[in-house]
Structure 1
């Protein structure tokens, strides 16, 4: 049956087949009819499907071994697999003989040990375990395979379609943690293969092609680490959702096996003594540090240019900036150079690149995740968190990286404020009944951004949320008058960071680095100004720390309490994405999280008329990440605003 088959023909055949009860039982038990009806539809629409193999009258007919093997070989050929299945002629095919036939071309390195009580001959069990693990033929239950039951033509069609899908090369583009783990568990993919797929994409699109210039350095040990994790999975099983998952770090996260440069030539050979706390936690969860990403040097800006790597480009338009300061992470994850990434955020550096690259970013509550080993900009505002293509992936990374760290005293406040798993809050109906405030004070006047937000607000309402418009921020003018603490704290905290590098550190102080000139000229004045700060005993600094923080926190909490709100929303950036060499500003929305230390989740909200992404922030009370994840996930699932960049297909 060819691709140009009339849809009414597919519908007619499918309707007749579904009348043959119980259609799906021979393949698997739960929700079988719905699942198989979709697979039959897909089978019928394939170019390779033999004409009239399954019709309105023969779906329940028993398939012969010749018909079954010929169909499987046709599916395998269509998938590019050139080994035919050998068989002995017979009248019918049972589920156990089907497993033996399929086992000839299926290679599952981590097949499960299954306790099927109805398998009468142990000679079939190895093949049954392989094929059950692969998902091509599942058991009726954990204890019953369906031994000696014959296959119908409907069953054969479903199995052939599954085989065709199984033999397809794994596509890493937009691949989620869940889809990757499923592929690994069923034998379609190994971590080693996945790492190589990502490395190939980095070579194709970062080093060549559009040359995004998002990666500073690839981990030379990534392949060997993947092999070790594959062996561990085979011997002991998976550690969890991040087992074998490649991650890209912003290059201000310490890694004991790679340099941590902060984007500066001055630190190009600086290898820390140990991993940052969050990096350590990721490795313990089984993640692979695939590469270090470019950033705006020392995290000073929103355009992501550095002396060590130059300008990173936006994968949605090579003439535009990727945001910053975690712009290398943003561009690389948008282009599917790894599964997920990590960024740091002082004044929008997770949120802005997430917005500009059509991604999800989580800036956690300060105190939820340790900053130990993250090159500081201003610890009063600094935090680190995930940048991902989906809310689910970001939540999985958050699970692995939160918790108390004695080396970061703020994390003591996380105790009692961490759920069993943030993945438990992935509720597609999460917007229903929610009360969300619209903070017009930080929208700005850009008509393109505001049009996207108007549409997003309607989508929130359609999802079941109640929107309270134009909620007012108490004392906003006064709060907005305070400056960022990076101008004050950087020198002292950066010097402390250099001390942690030990006796072999390349430089002892910021003054030493300034003397070398080994940094991008665009940040020279910022470095000098920060280095000229004499002391943190200045009254202006103390006012910012004490009064700004208190005013901002009280304003957010009062606004939310007065209006009985679950969260607040506003555009991540009130300004559109500028061209390379332009001056990128983003408005005042970032301050609500940066000045309070409260959490924010950024999600794709839509696109401007020139096809550039726009993000929306959900901000809430301290440690309200579960609520924000629930709202963001529900919005994401109902809108699907995430698009793959056409420049990195």
Structure 2
């Protein structure tokens, strides 16, 4: 019998053991341990993340990574706490908060894909990944920032863009390929346990690198993209982001389940070429036991063009001396693990509108159920005289108004009726085999490794000509491997090498391999990370005093007592105060805790009597930075109120958001 069990049997109310927990950099295993041993409830965990979001994302440095909070988040985690108390957990992700890119459907929330044209589009069902995580008990705390239509990485969308938690002077992702910028910033800053992004060129790998995160881009068909806005269907892939490889393994058992529905999953739906099945382990966490010494004896190809050497057949690549220094250390790490490194050249180097229309038709939002009804000019607005346009590859820019016109004349044609598709898809598969896999076989190569990027761009790219010029140079504008990796469907895993000396920004090391080598790549990445442990928490978002939780084992037991909490009214009072009131019912004594914009309201200002509660507290008006164009998140600058009620070992929460200039927005 455990000490906790003995205490329960004896009805003991004394302190048995004291447990301390901190959410900053906490792993999924850490979170589950804290939830299981009673250090905190899932409701309290969400409250701690919301406090960090209020202080660092909505105000202060205004990172703007999570523009939309899930209004039902406290109801969802309360249900998880109830399952835990009843011994009915759904698995190791039950009660774990995560973020979801604003291109991925989450039932009942908007899914704008970063575009003003779809600001009010509501998802009528879950994307496959959201559905899987919901069934596993994980809880979406909010939607993360992305540029319009997921195109052009750090271009500001309807909610603006996310900023770097490492250095506000630099971009949190490559300028032309960073559409998962919000997912990366929020995960790095410990606003949630993990985040889901995606990429079409390198917009998952790039922000992961700039935030010291682990990113996994799977082989084709491994993670279903159903319910995710498409961009280029042959290239699009879901990219989970975590702070450690072990966390990545923990979520892959849920995300890699085979989707019974193929509609909306391009490579499984198409009939033109057979896609080889990719092996999945019985549990991805089992990779840990076989990863030790997995690099020993391996022959690793290192593309010389990515480590400062010029390839005459390729465009010159900008490479920072700081990244070369990180690479040189990583090379020694790999050699110390028993690998042999060989410098070499790297041989890899109309559908959208139909798919967007199909996405809207399937979602069936009566206010926006076809692309033909959309104002194409609003899909990806560009400011006049936009400095980065001077250095763009204009042949790659999408003509959005023209795509709307194409849909109006679709005449019943489907994606599969597009000319040349039957020839193009087998050609893509054949090219990867010829240019990558046959080359690896001929030279006895086990995997390919290279720094994720050549340098990082500056944050003032919108307004500074020199910053724009540098951010759009080859080696800086995308992650290395960019389009070739995605066109060929090459699996990769990226792990941080550490911080650049010059910018204090992180840079990743990318592990790439043959189609279907996903498990091996995850093992190599785990072994590299185990040996090096180079991730550094971002300095812009340090731990808060309330990030820690200290509670005795007995006090922390999850109770089953009656507790009910409601918000009845919320309003602004004068210029800088809020007043919120409601009801609370409990079978025991109630403790109420309130946070306004992340700051605790003194207990003396919170009144509780006869089942009613209320408080009035000041807030500090905050005027968010005015971007050159685009918007800011719905949370930014508004007043975020979190109300927590505790009684009999249970906790419930309520989230209220008020406009600084208006009254109640949601509760």
TM over 0.5: yes
CA contact (8 A) 1:367 1:414 kept: no
Note the alpha carbon deviations across 1:220-248, whole angstroms, 9 max, x for none.
11111111101101112432221111010
3-state SS of paired residue (2:131): helix
CA contact (8 A) 1:174 1:336 kept: yes
Cα distance in 1 between the residues matched to 2:499 and 2:380: 38
Larger radius of gyration: 1
CA contact (8 A) 1:507 1:513 kept: no
Note the alpha carbon deviations across 1:581-604, whole angstroms, 9 max, x for none.
234412651234202112111111
3-state SS of paired residue (2:329): helix
Matches within 5 A, 1:427-466: 427-443=291-307, 444-448=317-321, 449-466=323-340
Shift of 1:516: 4.9
Q: Which residue of 2 aligns with 1:205?
A: 56
Shift of 1:463: 2.0
Shift of 1:277: 0.7
CA contact (8 A) 1:250 1:293 kept: yes
Q: Which residue of 2 aligns with 1:35?
A: none
Q: Which residue of 1 aligns with 2:662?
A: none
Is 1:192 aligned to residue 65 of structure 2? no
Shift of 1:506: 2.0
Instruction: Evaluate the alpha carbon distance shift between residue 125 and residue 202 of structure 1 in structure 2; reply closer, same or farther with a 3 A threshold.
Output: closer
Cα distance in 2 between the residues matched to 1:364 and 1:215: 25
1:345 equivalent among 199, 216, 221: 199
Is 1:399 aligned to residue 261 of structure 2? no
Cα distance in 1 between the residues matched to 2:149 and 2:73: 26
Note the alpha carbon deviations across 1:103-138, whole angstroms, 9 max, x for none.
xxxxxxxx66xxxxxxxxxx867259999xx9x7xx
Structure 1: gaps of 5 or more residues: 1-94, 100-110, 113-122, 137-162, 481-487
TM-score by length of 2: 0.68
CA contact (8 A) 2:375 2:401 kept: no
Matches within 5 A, 1:85-100: none
Q: Which residue of 1 aligns with 2:588?
A: none
Instruction: Evaluate the alpha carbon distance shift between residue 304 and residue 358 of structure 1 in structure 2; reply closer, same or farther with a 3 A threshold.
Output: farther
Instruction: Evaluate the alpha carbon distance shift between residue 235 and residue 493 of structure 1 in structure 2; reply closer, same or farther with a 3 A threshold.
Output: same
Instruction: Evaluate the alpha carbon distance shift between residue 525 and residue 418 of structure 1 in structure 2; reply closer, same or farther with a 3 A threshold.
Output: closer
Cα distance in 2 between the residues matched to 1:541 and 1:410: 12
Is 1:319 aligned to residue 176 of structure 2? no
Instruction: Evaluate the alpha carbon distance shift between residue 447 and residue 544 of structure 1 in structure 2; reply closer, same or farther with a 3 A threshold.
Output: farther
Cα distance in 1 between the residues matched to 2:266 and 2:162: 34
CA contact (8 A) 1:297 1:520 kept: no
CA contact (8 A) 1:494 1:510 kept: no
Instruction: Evaluate the alpha carbon distance shift between residue 576 and residue 543 of structure 1 in structure 2; reply closer, same or farther with a 3 A threshold.
Output: farther
Is 1:564 aligned to residue 444 of structure 2? yes
Instruction: Evaluate the alpha carbon distance shift between residue 512 and residue 257 of structure 1 in structure 2; reply closer, same or farther with a 3 A threshold.
Output: closer
Is 1:577 aligned to residue 431 of structure 2? no
Q: Which residue of 1 aligns with 2:129?
A: 278
Cα distance in 2 between the residues matched to 1:520 and 1:218: 27
CA contact (8 A) 1:575 1:586 kept: no
Matches within 5 A, 1:234-383: 234-303=85-154, 305-306=156-157, 308-323=158-173, 324-383=178-237
Instruction: Evaluate the alpha carbon distance shift between residue 577 and residue 182 of structure 1 in structure 2; reply closer, same or farther with a 3 A threshold.
Output: same
3-state SS of paired residue (2:216): strand
Matches within 5 A, 1:592-603: 592-603=484-495
Instruction: Evaluate the alpha carbon distance shift between residue 473 and residue 446 of structure 1 in structure 2; reply closer, same or farther with a 3 A threshold.
Output: closer
Shift of 1:508: 1.6
Cα distance in 1 between the residues matched to 2:327 and 2:438: 24
Cα distance in 2 between the residues matched to 1:399 and 1:348: 24
CA contact (8 A) 1:403 1:418 kept: no
* RMSD value, Cα: 2.9
Higher relative strand content: 2
2:283 equivalent among 421, 429, 442: 421
Cα distance in 2 between the residues matched to 1:402 and 1:250: 18
CA contact (8 A) 2:115 2:379 kept: no
CA contact (8 A) 2:100 2:140 kept: yes
Is 1:527 aligned to residue 405 of structure 2? no
Shift of 1:351: 0.6
Note the alpha carbon deviations across 1:568-615, whole angstroms, 9 max, x for none.
111222332333323441265123420211211111112222211111
Q: Which residue of 1 aligns with 2:515?
A: 622
Q: Which has the higher contact order (CA 8 A, sep 6+)?
A: 2
Task: Select between 359-368 and 537-546 the one with higher mean Cα deviation.
Answer: 537-546
Shift of 1:403: 2.7
Task: Select between 414-423 and 257-266 the one with higher mean Cα deviation.
Answer: 414-423
Q: Which residue of 2 aligns with 1:126?
A: 9
3-state SS of paired residue (1:311): coil
Q: Which residue of 1 aligns with 2:633?
A: none
Shift of 1:416: 6.6
CA contact (8 A) 1:430 1:633 kept: no
3-state SS of paired residue (1:404): coil
Q: Which residue of 1 aligns with 2:529?
A: 636
TM-score by length of 1: 0.70
3-state SS of paired residue (1:432): coil
Instruction: Evaluate the alpha carbon distance shift between residue 241 and residue 129 of structure 1 in structure 2; reply closer, same or farther with a 3 A threshold.
Output: farther
Structure 2: gaps of 5 or more residues: 270-274, 308-316, 390-396, 462-467, 543-667
Higher relative helix content: 1
